[in-house]
Amino acid sequence: MAARRSRALWQLSGRGWSRALLSLRPPWGWARPMSTEKPGAHTHFGFETVSEEEKGGKVYQVFESVAEKYDVMNDSMSLGLHRVWKDLLLQKMHPFSGTKLLDVAGGTGDIAFRFLNYIKAQNQRQQQRELKSHQNLSWEEIGKWYQNSRSPLGESHVVICDINKEMLKVGKKKAQTLGHKRGLAWVVGDAEELPFDDDKFDVYTIAFGIRNVTHIDRALQEAYRVLKPGGRFLCLEFSQVSNPIISRLYDLYSFQVIPVMGEVIAGDWKSYQYLVESIRRFPPQEEFKEMIEDAGFQKVTYESLTSGIVAIHSGFKL
Ligand SMILES: COc1cc(O)cc(C/C=C(\C)CC/C=C(\C)CC/C=C(\C)CC/C=C(\C)CC/C=C(\C)CC/C=C(\C)CC/C=C(\C)CC/C=C(\C)CC/C=C(\C)CCC=C(C)C)c1O
Ligand SMILES: C[S@@+](CC[C@H](N)C(=O)[O-])C[C@H]1O[C@@H](n2cnc3c(N)ncnc32)[C@H](O)[C@@H]1O
């Protein structure tokens, strides 16, 4: 209860004065309007206060607007570092042949493609090992080996679910270019109300997505519902930087450079201003861990990467 109250206060107050001082930002923030209070339930869209009904539409517009330039923006803003973070998420997942993955807020498919590549590489390595270890294969074994080599994914499957049709459209084109024909499905759906039955998936991932959802608690409950008992929740998201010097440089970079890049590369300053503001609004590592536990997950842990610029949270439905 106390944790929930402190979380609510934290959400109302933002990151606070000390962070503002460290970031050389005025404590009221650059983009925070003076009075944006509206009647009814309200939430945040970056530093702006909006009604809960408005938020979903605004987030939709952001990703509709950036979809075509999304991938090139990520490489430019992070100098490719987002690829390393996504690879680390897959290493943590360590999927096996047969894993059914649901990638929510899957956007242009980065996590899904990594998953397919991981499974394919793992199966190929296994087949090579088997072939080497059997000097004299029986007909049955030769048959099995050929069958496996024709379907390197086995029973593995990934569903990419995202609320935004434009992001999925870009993802589907990318899948064609990369030659991913099997083992994936694209579904339009809301993280808060997933269009899937209970106990369906072995792993649920959400990368850079949960920050944009209006009711994070509902998205976490949905993650819990669709996972099989024993299933794993994995979330890659921006988090809190621990080192004050890096934090200050990061704030400078975020507020001074990223929106400019957004304007130059994607012709969209506002969406990238929203990105950096939404990062500051998201709860720090420990706070988010508690939210995951509140949804019913057990053995919840997290790992901070690159000084806490991002973190991977993990939990199990036991
Ligand atoms: C609309 O919503 C979205 C849209 C999207 O496209 C994507 C997302 C979701 C996001 C992702 C999938 C990942 C995207 C990645 C980021 C947002 C970037 C994360 C940031 C970093 C990895 C960089 C962190 C930077 C630091 C810790 C500080 C180092 C920076 C400096 C020394 C430069 C400080 C800046 C100034 C003094 C201002 C003037 C500087 C310039 C004009 C030069 C520009 C500088 C650079 C390009 C250097 C940047 C350096 C790096 C990227 C290397 C990072 C190295 C380390 C962390 C050690 C979405 O929701
Ligand atoms: C920053 S992108 C992340 C894409 C991808 N996971 C990646 O790591 O590159 C955020 C994605 O979240 C999606 N999104 C936002 N709100 C959502 C919701 N309520 N349900 C499902 N997806 C949502 C957006 O449409 C967008 O594609």
- Domains of the chain, each with CATH number or no CATH: 42-133+156-317 (3.40.50.150)
pLDDT (0 to 100) of residue 144 = 73
The annotation status of 311 as a binding-site residue, yes or no, is: no
Is-contact 20 29, C-beta < 8 A? yes
What pLDDT is recorded for position 24?
A: 37
Supply the residue whose CA is at minimum distance from atom 19 of ligand 1. Answer: 78
Position 99 scores a pLDDT of 97
How many other β-carbons are positioned within 10 Å of the β-carbon of residue 88?
Answer: 15
108 known member of a binding site = yes
SS3 of the chain: the string is: CHHHHHHHHHHHHCCHHHHHHHCCCCCCCCCCCCCCCCCCCEEEECCEEEEHHHHHHHHHHHHHHHHHHHHHHHHHHHCCHHHHHHHHHHHHHCCCCCCEEEEECCCCCHHHHHHHHHHHHHHHHHHHHHHHHCCCCCHHHHHHHHHHHHCCCCCCEEEEEECCHHHHHHHHHHHHHHCCCCCEEEEECECCECCCCCCCEEEEEEECCHHHCCCHHHHHHHHHHHEEEEEEEEEEEECCCCCHHHHHHHHHHHHHHHHHHHHHHHCCHHHHHHHHHHHHHCCCHHHHHHHHHHCCCEEEEEEEEHHHCEEEEEEECC
pTM score = 0.86
- Which ligand has an atom closest to residue 215 CA? 2
| pLDDT over 70 (residue 9) | no
pLDDT of residue 56: 96
Ligand at minimal distance from the CA of 241 is: 1
Q: How far is the CA of 154 from the centre of ligand 1 (A)?
A: 38
Least confidently predicted of 27-31, 220-224, 277-281, 291-295: 27-31
Task: Provide mean pLDDT across the span 169-193.
Answer: 97
Give mean pLDDT, residues 248-257: 98
Query: How many angstroms separate the alpha carbon of residue 132 from the centre of ligand 2?
Result: 43
Cα dist. 174→15, 105, 110, 111, 164 in Å?
37, 16, 9, 12, 16
Cα(59) to ligand 2 centroid in Å equals 9
Confidence tier at 39 by pLDDT (50, 70, 90): low
> Rounded to whole angstroms, how far apart are CA atoms 112 and 158?
6
> Which of ligand 1's atoms lies nearest the C-alpha of 74?
14
Q: Does the structure show a pLDDT above 60 at 303?
A: yes
Mutate which of 212, 218, 278 for ligand 2? The one with the most ligand atoms within 8 Å of its CB, which is 212
Residue with the nearest Cα to atom 47 of ligand 1?
77
pLDDT of residue 149: 65
ipTM for the assembly: 0.88
Ligand 1 mean position, distance from CA 253 (Å): 6
